Chains A and B, each alone.
Chain A
Amino acid sequence: MLDDYLIADEPYYRPLGNEIALFEAAYAHRLPVMLKGPTGCGKTRFVEHMAWRLKRPIVTVSCHEDMTASDLVGRFLLDANGTLWHDGPLTLAVRHGAICYLDEIVEARQDTTVIIHSLTDDRRILPLEKKNELVRAHADFQLVISYNPGYQSVLKDLKESTKQRFVALDFDYPAAELEAKIVMHEASLPPAPAKLLVTVAAKSRNLKGHGLEEGASTRMLINAGLLMSKGVSFAEACQVAIVIPLTDDADLRDALRSAVAACQ
């Protein structure tokens, strides 16, 4: 049923601490897990890696502000013969025992997020009101959400009652040496340019909260590295993969560009 959602090849992941063991322990009790951390630091990659490790299918939902409960749970559709119920991604995972990963959960409306409550305590049930059905979670089902606390505005935040249901793993950008290794691996770069990219990222992260909403993510560095592996110069790769995407502010761009120039 969920074979399409199984991950066949090991997703590359370098542990930052003992998050793998922690996640495995949480999974053993099917505790819901919340991954906190800045954009592009490797949260999604980590869940995929864990799904592969645990040999569980993973159903990923990218949350957005128009998402309704029906989008998660499912809805009746019309067909020629009448009506037909169609499970949403969450119901699918609950019924058949997958890891359901709700990415950027704060983006979803608060009335949508409350439907996960009954899944996150010992009841482990999902009521489908429209269908008048109570779905009991499959023994293998686990809920994982990601949450970026510094991101967006203060207007978006998780409800306290939602937060308190989760075991939380705190993610951050990897230490410089480790991050360089990740960039080397993912972008097939030699050590020197990878290190240089990591230095640039560290400089941009200094501006977080002082002009920039977020510093350059590991993902951005990998993008820059991929461009460099195709012969793009360091300065230009930084410009198009880091500086321009990060900000529209001309002064910030100039400062970042000059910082890039100073690094090489």
Chain B
Amino acid sequence: MKLVTSETPPATPPLLQGAAALAFAGPMSAPWLAAVERLSQAGYGEPVVESYRRHSPEVAGKVGPNAGIALADSVSLLAIKAGRKAAELLPPAAAQAAGRVADAHRFRAFLNLMERLSSLAPESVSEVLIRIDRLLSRLDLSRLEAWVLAGIRYGGGDAQRRHGYFSFEDPEAERWLERESSDVTFEHVGRRLKYYLDALWRIRLPIREPSLRAPEASRRRTSFDRGMIRVPPVYPGFRDQQAEEIFRAALAHVAAHLTFTRDKFPARSLKPVQIALVSLIEDARVEKLAMREYPGLRRLWLPFHVAQPSGAKTAPTLLARLSRALIDPDFEDPDGWVQKSKEMFYAAREHWDDQQMSRVLGSLLGNDLGQMRIQFNAKTYVPEPPYRDDNVGLWDWGEQPNEMADEELLDESVRIVRQEEDDPDPPDRERQEPERDQGSANRARPEEQAPVDIGIPVARYPEHDHLIGRDRPDWVTVKEYEPRLGDPGEIERSIEANPELRFRIQAMIRAAKVSRPRRRRHMAEGEQLDLDAAIQAVLSQRIGESPDPRIYSTVMRQFRDLSVLLLLDISESTNDPIKGSRRPTLELEKQAVALLGEAMEGLGDPFAVAAFCSDGREDVHYLRIKDFSERFGALPLSRLAGLTGSLSTRMGAAIRHAGVELGKQTTYRRLLLLVTDGEPSDRDVPDRRYLVEDARYAVAGLTAHGIDTLCVGLDSGAENHLARIFGPRNTIMIDRIDRLPDRLPSLYFRLTR
């Protein structure tokens, strides 16, 4: 391609030359010249102008001259926001992108994305532009956008962290790239696979993505260990149906190990090649046993064995061929070692039940391979086919620390204990909930010793990113903290001082009949005739008795059938005084909760109280003040009194967690009543709208599960955000506690319809 050189005078050349002349012919030549002129006049430096001059004709050739001219504006914008280097890199990247997107409309979207990136993460624009071809080879535009936004989200407000992501120094970038570039991720199929494992094997272990700290090789394979299964988020190279099948095959293989590999093999004196072979034989052995029970598994596993009985004799290929020969008796391999191994394996058929057989056979075959002078590199070896696990779980490595971080195991153990506690009631539904004295009996063991300041991770939740319209899975960690105890005297005194207020709130709550509407027959008054009663009355008349006048029926909500969870925002801002007063918001919150709690306790409504604040997405604090099974007595009041305001407000995660708690209640209506002073925010989220939208999404999620979410806003000017999250009708704002009884009925009124 002939290029316009820098010898061309920058200002208004008489004629276009070369590629530019072809790309911007006729009426397009003048606007292009004007664009070049603007860029050179702007003082971004000659390299920027030159880059534009050189690559804009390519863009024009691929997606039209208008796009080529519009590129100049983007170059200009990047120069201002992200610097000259980024501006210089844009035209060649744009040319590559134009080749990939191949239509003007999507090319514009690409430019828009780069412009957005330059305002959100100016330091990283160059990193993205350098890699644009690679990125676009894996991602279409919307996925590229999702990947870019994931990076911005990941970095929070930290430019260095963002840079680490966009330069791929941080493995998170690769992870998201894989996730975004695959059709089928574990996220899509995880739920059904959990059921699959449970149905076939009764295995109910938590299944997680590999830890980011895990070595690259083991991130490509499943892995299992004490109480957990790790599954790669994607299997690159597998698409559609096959991608789903490989996840299933992988989990079925792990299940076979968990069922038939009873003990770990001591690794002590074995050479790496022997370890690999013992693992391989063990893989084959447990699969044989599993297929005895479930013959259909053969159809699942076999298609992934694609090793061919030819080609170079390296350790990895020979091992892959042996794997195939062992699962498929019909597979013929001319190699002597493979043949011999296969024969030995089948000769030992009687001993397949004994896992020592793998150890003996594997060690022998490993020796053979060594004597054949075939090199084995343990560092690069990855078991084949890809559905098989990384073998780590088969071995006892002695004193080496476990790969899984202890913290995470603790997290999981708590989760498992919780899950077991949550199992359905005994068959007779004796719904005696365990008493929770001292606030810990119902908890997992680790927490008993836990000091107040250490949170126990109890759950992970996704977070909704409104920019890409998708959830980020497992994004937020909720940790439960033991509430400090305070002196409840003051709260009690302030309630005692307001007998009238107490009475009004109680009367108001009592008046709210929240239950399934029921038809009441046999009434003296009502909207409809009760046919049975009417006939009865006529009959009585004819028999000669005096008829019963109660011949009407009516539909009414007779009972209360409602459980409530009061969720308190205790972020730093609740220490601020409420508008027009000197009392801190938190004090008002405590008082409101004490009043409502007392009223509900008096009426026998099941209710719970919890509080939350947050310190970044990995640490959302959740404090249980009162559980559903507990009485609203001195201890919950002390916990309430001990609350202090600190940190931030990650509302969505707290709403999701509270929703899970409420979801276990079996009442007709379930209500989450959030008491807050303002908008969601957190230290790692610069974009204020993000958490608002996420909270809104969390509320919608609860609504979909039949849980009502209402908000009591303590006036701080955040009204608009709260109305956006909860809906204007579901939000009430109060600035004084004595306004509560006036405003609360409007919320309850919503529930009675």
Chain A residues within 8 Å of B, Cβ to Cβ: 36, 68, 70, 76, 78, 82-83, 130, 149-150, 153-155, 157, 203-204, 206-207, 209-211, 250-252, 254-256, 258-264
Residue among A130, A155, A256 making CB contact with B666, cutoff 8 Å = A155
Contact A210 to B198, CB < 8 A, known contacts A154-B425, A251-B191, A255-B193: yes
Chain B residue with minimal CB distance to A68? B532
Tell me, yes or no, whether B226 is within 8 Å of chain A by CB. no
* Contact among A82, A204, A254 for B542, CB-based, below 8 A: A82
Contact in complex: A255, B543 (CB < 8 Å): no
Question: In the assembled complex, how far is the CB of residue B563 from the closest CB belonging to chain A, in whole angstroms?
Answer: 13
Q: A153-B666, A210-B204 are in contact. Are A259 and B542 (CB under 8 A)?
A: no
Given contacts A70-B532, A82-B542, contact A154 B666 (CB under 8 A): yes
- Chain A residues lying within 8 Å of B195, measured Cβ to Cβ, are 207, 210-211, 251-252, 254-256
Instruction: Give B427 Cβ to nearest chain A Cβ, in Å.
Output: 4
Residues from 661 to 680 in B contacting A, C-beta threshold 8 Å: 666
Stretch at the interface among B5-13, B81-89, B289-297: B289-297
B199 within 8 A of A: yes
Cross-chain contact B196 with A258 (CB below 8 angstroms)? yes
Min distance, Cβ B55 to any Cβ of chain A, angstroms: 48
Neighbouring A residues of B535 by C-beta, 8 Å: 78
Kindly identify which residue among A154, A262, A264 contacts B429, using a CB–CB cutoff of 8 Å: A154
Instruction: Name 28 interchain pairs, CB-CB below 8 A, sorted by A.
Output: A68-B532, A76-B536, A78-B535, A83-B542, A83-B543, A130-B536, A149-B428, A154-B425, A154-B431, A154-B666, A206-B202, A207-B195, A210-B195, A211-B198, A250-B192, A252-B192, A255-B192, A255-B193, A255-B194, A256-B199, A259-B200, A260-B296, A261-B299, A262-B252, A262-B295, A262-B296, A262-B297, A263-B295
Question: With the chains together, A78 CA to B425 CA distance in Å?
Answer: 48
In chain B between 640 and 668, which residues have their CB closer than 8 angstroms to a CB of chain A?
Answer: 666
In the complex, B453 has a CB within 8 A of chain A: no
Name the B residues within 8 Å of A258 (CB-CB). 192, 196, 248
Chain B, 528-567, contact with A by CB distance < 8 Å: what is the 0/1 string?
Answer: 0000100110110011000000000000000000000000
| Interface hits, B164-195 → A, CB 8 Å | 191-195
* 17 additional contacts (CB under 8 A) given A210-B195, A254-B192: A36-B427, A68-B532, A83-B542, A83-B543, A150-B424, A153-B666, A206-B200, A206-B202, A210-B198, A211-B195, A255-B192, A255-B194, A255-B199, A258-B196, A259-B196, A261-B299, A262-B200
How far, in Å, is B33 (CB) from chain A's closest CB?
59
- Contact residues, B415-458 vs A (CB, 8 A): 423-425, 427-429, 431
Closest-CB distance, B290 to chain A (whole angstroms):
9
Contact yes or no, B539 A78, CB < 8 A: yes
Give Cα A125 to B558, complex, Å.
33
Pairwise interchain contact B198-A206, C-beta atoms closer than 8 A = yes
- Asked if B300 is at the interface (CB within 8 A of a chain A CB), the reply is yes
Question: Which 6 A-B pairs have CB atoms at the shortest separation, nearest pair first?
Answer: A255-B195, A251-B192, A262-B294, A262-B296, A255-B196, A149-B427
Closest to B193 in A: A255
What chain B residues lie within 8 Å of A204 (beta carbons)? 199
Once the chains are docked, how many angstroms separate the CA of A117 from the CA of B113?
A: 75
CA gap between A36 and B542 in the complex, in Å: 45
Chain B contacts for A261, CB-based, 8 A = 296, 299-300
CA distance A52 to B408 in the complex (A): 61
- Inter-chain CA distance A204–B539, complex, in Å, is 54
A262 to B199, CA, bound (A): 11
Interface contact B423-A209, CB-CB below 8 Å:
yes
Given contact pairs A78-B535, A211-B195, A251-B195, A149 touches B429 in the complex (Cβ within 8 A): yes
Interface string of B231-258 (1 = CB under 8 A from A): 0000000000000000010001000000
- A259–B199 Cα distance when bound, in Å, is 7
Question: How far is B424's CA from A203's CA once the two chains are assembled, in angstroms?
Answer: 19
B:265-313 near A, CB below 8 Å: 294-297, 299-300
A251 contacts which chain B residues (CB < 8 A)? 191-192, 195
Asked if residues B539 and A264 are in contact (CB atoms below 8 Å), the reply is no
Q: Are B191 and A203 in contact (CB under 8 A)?
A: no
Within 8 A of A (CB), among B200-221: 200, 202, 204
Assembly CA distance A207 to B196 (angstroms): 9
Q: How far is the CA of A82 from the CA of B539 in the complex (A)?
A: 8
In whole angstroms, what is the CA distance A261 to B299 when docked? 9
User: Closest CB-CB distance, B750 to chain A, in whole Å?
Assistant: 23
**Chain B residues with CB below 8 A from A250, complex form:** 192
Determine the distance from Cα of A150 to Cα of B427 in the docked complex, in whole angstroms: 5
Of B193, B423, B431, B539, which is in contact with the most chain A CB atoms at under 10 Å from its CB?
B539
B199 partner, pick from A76, A130, A203, A264, beta carbons under 8 A: A203
Q: How far is the CA of A221 from the CA of B71 in the complex (A)?
A: 67
Distance A32 CA – B300 CA, assembled complex (angstroms) = 52
Shortest Cβ distance from residue B545 to the other chain A in the assembled complex, whole angstroms: 10
Within 8 Å CB of A260, what residues of B?
A: 296
Q: Least Cβ distance of A42 to chain B in Å?
A: 17
A43 to B296, CA, bound (A): 34
Inter-chain contacts of B429 with A (CB < 8 A): 149, 154, 157
Q: B199 contacts which chain A residues (CB < 8 A)? A: 203-204, 206-207, 255-256, 259
Inside 8 A of A211's CB, which chain B residues have their CB? 195, 198
Q: Which residues of the other chain, B, contact A36 by a CB distance below 8 angstroms?
A: 427
Q: Which of A83, A209, A263 contacts B424 (CB 8 A)?
A: A209
**How many angstroms from the CA of A258 to the CA of B191 in the assembled complex?**
13
Contact in complex: B539, A76 (CB < 8 Å)? yes
